[in-house]
Chain A
Amino acid sequence: METSNHSIETQNLSLWYGDFQALIDVSVNIPAGKITSLIGPSGCGKTTLLRCFNRVNERYGNVTTKGEIKILGKNIYDPDVSLLELRKTVGMVFQRPNPLPISVYDNILFGLRIHSPFGSLTRSQSDEIVEEALTSVFLWDDLKDKLKTRATSLQLEQQQKLCIARLLPLKPQIILMDEPCSALDAKGTLAVEELMSVLAGTYTFLIVTHNMAQARRVSSECIYMFLGELIEHRETQALFETPEHPKTADYVQMRYG
């Protein structure tokens, strides 16, 4: 298949909440196997854009979408697209760590259980999957004796890593992250960033952040949005050092000024 090396492609994507247009003609290509960051002032539509990619926006009744979104070359609004499959391919990590209030073990398996026929996972398979997922996020050593504890009682950093870990058994291609570190302390932030860098390559990351230092540290490409429009999308380094658009320059310099 001659698919480009873009995991996500949108064409003139517009989105309205009722009468309010939150996204205006956004056309963007997100490179596969890299970390792309999405920055911009509060309310500019970052979360909205992110949520288009696994179609969770539709849960609000008054949302209208126009334009095209292709994930791995497939239009996600095609009638034959299954939401179940889409959400398996496109994982999401939220701003506040939101492990499900069940055990660590069950958190990791929850997604997989939804996607596999009842009873098709043996105990040993499950154990293996849990170990593998926790190992990939560097939590196995910390949590191997705590698999039965409620995930919501872990430290925030562990919770957020767990939220990443629970996506992995589904073998997603893309992981969307909405301000994944804003609830974490500096140490937790660095740990999650490091984790992303290790996992990038295997997965495509799209991360919304308010922290420009973070965008610079982790992402290879960066998108600047303003009032629902995509203003600039370039290599991170270039965007920060030689912004092309005056609005981008304003924003980047305001923060660094």
Chain B
Amino acid sequence: MKRSVLIYQSIALITLAVAFILFWSFSKGTPFVESGLTFDETAADSYSVLQENLYRMVPILLGSIFFSIAIAFYLEEWLAETSWIYGIIAQQITILASIPSLLYGLLGLYFFVLQSEKGSFFTHALTFVLLVMPITIQSTQKAIRGVDISVREAAFALGANRWRVVVDHVFPNAFPTIVAGICTAISRVLAITALIIIVYIWKEHTLQSGDTFNIPSSVIVLLSFALLSSVISSFLEKKTNLT
């Protein structure tokens, strides 16, 4: 029963988000839906705008990772035992985390490529926050739950309080798994960024049909980083599963 609620909720959310994108596109007259991708800015300009936006995302990315970890610890270590709200929040996070990243990619595409000038810092941040936080929170939660109960017991039995147990033991022990989760999230972000750039370049290319295709190097770099971080993540996961 709980599962079906989850599925319906995610479907509703996805539908809402898609509807939102479509509606926005139409209402602003963006030709996203109507006639493929066209742009008014000159190629050089908008590319640098895009890049600038992406650079601005780095602090947001770091910020959302930090907050995700903090939220996960708060949820697992403090809220879980004391409050019924925990269940609801955990459920919402699961839903957000299970939305296919393609949808986020669409969102990102919209905000970054089609709205690259108009799109505010806020909307960009939102995309990344939505993309990164649920998976990071969820994987951190799993990492925290994965810390062997015996470690906690040992520390509690020696007189440590909750704070001490978390800082001295749960965090260091969950750390590799947390990093693995972050790597997954980052590879998701990078892959989607690469997607955005590809679409962007493709659009540029059709605009100026004499150009050679020399920008894809950045795509390759992004994709290889994405690959690298998912390799790191699976390596870490394997390693933590063994011990």
- Could you tell me the distance between the alpha carbons of A83 and B160 in the complex, rounded to whole angstroms? 9
Contacts A94-B153, A111-B159 supplied; 12 other A-B pairs, CB < 8 Å: A61-B81, A88-B159, A94-B150, A98-B151, A101-B151, A101-B169, A111-B158, A114-B158, A114-B159, A114-B160, A115-B159, A166-B158
Please indicate the chain A residues that have their CB under 8 angstroms from the CB of B158 in the complex: 87, 91, 110-111, 114, 166-167, 170
- Chain A 78-101 interface 0/1 with B at a Cβ cutoff of 8 Å (1 = within): 000001100110011010101111
Let me know if B156 and A59 touch, CB within 8 A. yes
Please indicate the chain B residues that have their CB under 8 angstroms from the CB of A152 in the complex: 243
Rounded to whole Å, the gap between the CB of B84 and the closest CB of chain A is 12
- Could you tell me the distance between the alpha carbons of A110 and B169 in the complex, rounded to whole angstroms? 11
- Could you tell me the distance between the alpha carbons of A46 and B40 in the complex, rounded to whole angstroms? 76
Let me know if B156 and A56 touch, CB within 8 A. yes
Interface residues on B, range: 20 to 34
Interface residues on A, range: 20 to 34
CB of B157 within 8 Å of the partner chain = yes
CB of A163 within 8 Å of the partner chain = yes
Let me know if B150 and A96 touch, CB within 8 A. yes
Select from chain B the residue with minimum beta-carbon distance to A152: B243
| Contact A101 to B153, CB < 8 A, known contacts A114-B164, A115-B159 | no
Let me know if A92 and B157 touch, CB within 8 A. yes
Let me know if A87 and B157 touch, CB within 8 A. yes
Let me know if A54 and B157 touch, CB within 8 A. yes
Let me know if A83 and B159 touch, CB within 8 A. yes
Select from chain B the residue with minimum beta-carbon distance to A98: B150
- Listed by A's residue number, 6 A-B pairs whose Cβ atoms lie within 8 Å are A83-B159, A88-B159, A96-B150, A98-B150, A170-B158, A170-B159
CB of B172 within 8 Å of the partner chain = yes
Residue ranges of B at the interface with A (Cβ–Cβ < 8 Å)? 81-82, 148, 150-151, 153-161, 164, 168-169, 172-173, 243
Please indicate the chain B residues that have their CB under 8 angstroms from the CB of A87 in the complex: 156-159
| Contact A84 to B159, CB < 8 A, known contacts A98-B148, A100-B169, A114-B164 | yes
- Could you tell me the distance between the alpha carbons of A170 and B168 in the complex, rounded to whole angstroms? 19
Please indicate the chain B residues that have their CB under 8 angstroms from the CB of A102 in the complex: 172
Please indicate the chain B residues that have their CB under 8 angstroms from the CB of A91 in the complex: 157-158
Rounded to whole Å, the gap between the CB of B168 and the closest CB of chain A is 8
Let me know if A100 and B157 touch, CB within 8 A. no
Pick the residue among A54, A83, A94 that contacts B154 (CB under 8 A): A94
- Could you tell me the distance between the alpha carbons of A105 and B157 in the complex, rounded to whole angstroms? 18
Select from chain B the residue with minimum beta-carbon distance to A60: B81
| Contact A163 to B154, CB < 8 A, known contacts A61-B81, A98-B148, A100-B169 | yes
Please indicate the chain B residues that have their CB under 8 angstroms from the CB of A59 in the complex: 156
- Could you tell me the distance between the alpha carbons of A111 and B160 in the complex, rounded to whole angstroms? 8
Select from chain B the residue with minimum beta-carbon distance to A95: B150
B160, B164, B173: most-surrounded residue (chain A CB, <10 A): B160
| Contact A56 to B160, CB < 8 A, known contacts A96-B150, A98-B150 | no
- Could you tell me the distance between the alpha carbons of A100 and B150 in the complex, rounded to whole angstroms? 9
Rounded to whole Å, the gap between the CB of A186 and the closest CB of chain B is 23
Pick the residue among B82, B157, B159, B172 that contacts A101 (CB under 8 A): B172
B150, B154, B156: most-surrounded residue (chain A CB, <10 A): B154
| Contact A56 to B157, CB < 8 A, known contacts A61-B81, A100-B169 | yes
| Contact A100 to B151, CB < 8 A, known contacts A61-B81, A114-B164 | yes
